[in-house]
């Protein structure tokens, strides 16, 4: 965990390495009572020990927490429950969206008091992640950051402020804990919801923000792209993964599924709606050599019962392994030859045959 220096003296993430698909994380929030703007709660809220048992039965090896679900004062008790069930904690994140002070943004807010509050929440939960959870990663989801109205924020300043906040957090983390113990810090971009225009919206914007940071801090900040978020921005998710990896910044992933048309964040099971996206995603993870925990962020279906609260997770894991089987049908040498010659018809046939198995 933490960071190490490579042969060129550059600090790079040093996570525990796993064979792809053998380490799966899910959010504590992925087992829930349901409900929303148009749907009433349909299930009971389960105790953490009950959730952990269901997660483990589903095939999960690691959990993820917000500070509102696992507050600092309960972190030791929660860690004990998780470990007693044979699970670990992969990632933690401060909730910078479901708190009233962040209704108009967090790191990008024009109000310095709001930005400082976001920084303080983040520092406090990084402390929990390192000292209690022994987590591998910290994720910043942009959440409420952005604007709901044209000219609702100064467009040049909002990006610069996010970079400045991240610089303060990373500098503090390195000074306090050292580079070897620092949490791997990931930005999770999303184009909209809850803001109409969110910052950063996609992998490219997140990389631009990292480039604005102090060069000494840049190595410690990377990406956590999520499938639905990329699709909402009309991006091809596997291409977003490729961009992050090409920049050396693919530190974590959140896999799920949804309609390909730009909609809301559906958080359906990975591979449920479009199996071909699942195959393309898994193949890309294989090709870029991803060896870290695979994160899932999927919600129960509205009609799921109490006993099915983790079924979307279980099905996503099964779909991930189905996609791995499909990837075995792809001849990488032949695929690269078709790419080189520009033979798109052959590529289409190879991919369809791999997905369909015939």
N- to C-terminal Cα separation, the chain: 42
Give pLDDT, residue 36: 84
Q: In what order do the strands lie in the sheet with 294-296?
A: 221-223, 184-188, 137-141, 88-93, 62-66, 24-27, 294-296, 254-255
> 256 — phi, psi (to 5°)?
-160, -160
pTM recorded for the entire structure: 0.97
Q: Do you know the residue count of the chain?
A: 358
Catalogue the E-assigned strands of the chain.
3-5, 11-13, 24-27, 62-66, 88-93, 137-141, 146-147, 184-188, 197-198, 221-223, 254-255, 294-296
Give pLDDT, residue 340: 98
Give pLDDT, residue 1: 72
For CA atoms 214, 217, 219, 222, the dihedral sign is: negative
Architecture of the domain whose range is 3-327: Alpha-Beta Barrel (3.20)
- CA angle 329/240/224 to nearest 5° reads 105
Sorted by sequence, the CB contacts under 8 Å of residue 81 that are 6+ apart come out as 48, 49, 52
pLDDT digits (tens, 9 = 90+) for 289-328: 999 999 999 999 999 999 999 999 999 999 999 999 999 9
Sorted by sequence, the CB contacts under 8 Å of residue 329 that are 6+ apart come out as 353, 354, 357
Structure tokens at 351: 């991919």
Spatial separation of the C-alpha atoms in residues 2 and 14, rounded to whole Å: 5
Structure tokens at 40: 């009433």
Q: Is 239 exposed, middle or buried (0-12, 13-18, 19+ CB in 10 A)?
A: middle
Give pLDDT, residue 26: 98
Give pLDDT, residue 260: 77
Domain ranges of the chain: 3-327
How would you write the pLDDT of the chain (358 residues) with one tens digit per residue? 799 999 999 999 998 999 999 999 999 999 999 998 888 999 999 999 999 999 999 999 999 999 999 999 999 999 999 999 999 999 999 999 999 999 999 999 999 999 999 999 999 999 999 999 999 999 999 999 999 999 999 999 999 999 999 999 999 999 999 999 999 999 999 999 999 999 999 999 999 999 999 999 999 999 999 999 999 999 999 999 999 999 999 999 999 999 877 789 999 999 999 999 999 999 999 999 999 999 999 999 999 999 999 999 999 999 999 999 999 999 999 999 999 999 999 999 999 999 999 8
């Amino acid at each position: 965990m933490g960071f190490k220096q490579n042969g060129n003296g550059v600090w790079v993430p040093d996570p525990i390495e796993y064979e792809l698909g053998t380490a799966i994380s899910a959010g504590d929030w992925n087992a829930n009572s349901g409900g929303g703007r148009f749907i009433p709660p349909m299930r009971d809220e389960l105790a953490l020990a009950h959730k952990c048992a269901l997660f483990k039965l589903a095939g999960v090896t690691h959990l993820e927490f917000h500070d509102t679900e696992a507050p600092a004062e309960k972190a030791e008790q929660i860690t004990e429950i998780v470990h007693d069930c044979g699970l670990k904690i992969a990632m933690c994140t401060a909730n910078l969206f479901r708190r009233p002070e962040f209704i108009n943004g967090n790191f990008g807010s024009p109000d310095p008091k709001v930005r400082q509050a976001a920084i303080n929440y983040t520092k406090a939960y990084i402390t929990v992640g390192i000292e209690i959870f022994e987590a591998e990663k910290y994720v910043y989801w942009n959440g409420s950051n952005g604007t709901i109205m044209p000219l609702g924020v100064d467009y040049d300043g909002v990006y610069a402020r996010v970079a400045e906040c991240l610089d303060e957090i990373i500098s503090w983390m390195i000074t306090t804990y050292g580079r070897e113990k620092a949490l791997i810090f990931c930005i999770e971009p999303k184009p909209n919801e809850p803001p109409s225009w969110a910052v950063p919206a996609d992998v490219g914007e997140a990389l631009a923000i990292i480039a604005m940071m102090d060069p000494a801090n840049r190595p410690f900040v990377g990406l956590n792209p999520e499938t639905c978020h990329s699709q909402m921005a009309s991006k091809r998710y596997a291409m977003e993964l490729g961009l992050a990896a090409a920049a050396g910044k693919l530190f974590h992933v959140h896999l799920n599924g949804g309609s390909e048309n730009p909609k809301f964040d559906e958080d359906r099971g990975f591979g449920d709606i479009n199996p071909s996206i699942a195959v393309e995603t898994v193949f890309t993870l294989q090709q870029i050599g991803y060896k870290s925990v695979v994160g899932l962020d999927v919600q129960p279906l509205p009609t799921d019962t109490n006993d099915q609260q983790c079924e979307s997770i279980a099905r996503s894991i099964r779909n991930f392994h189905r996609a791995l089987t499909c990837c075995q049908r792809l001849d990488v040498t032949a695929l690269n030859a078709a790419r080189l010659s520009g033979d798109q018809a052959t590529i289409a046939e190879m991919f369809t045959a791999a997905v369909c198995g015939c």
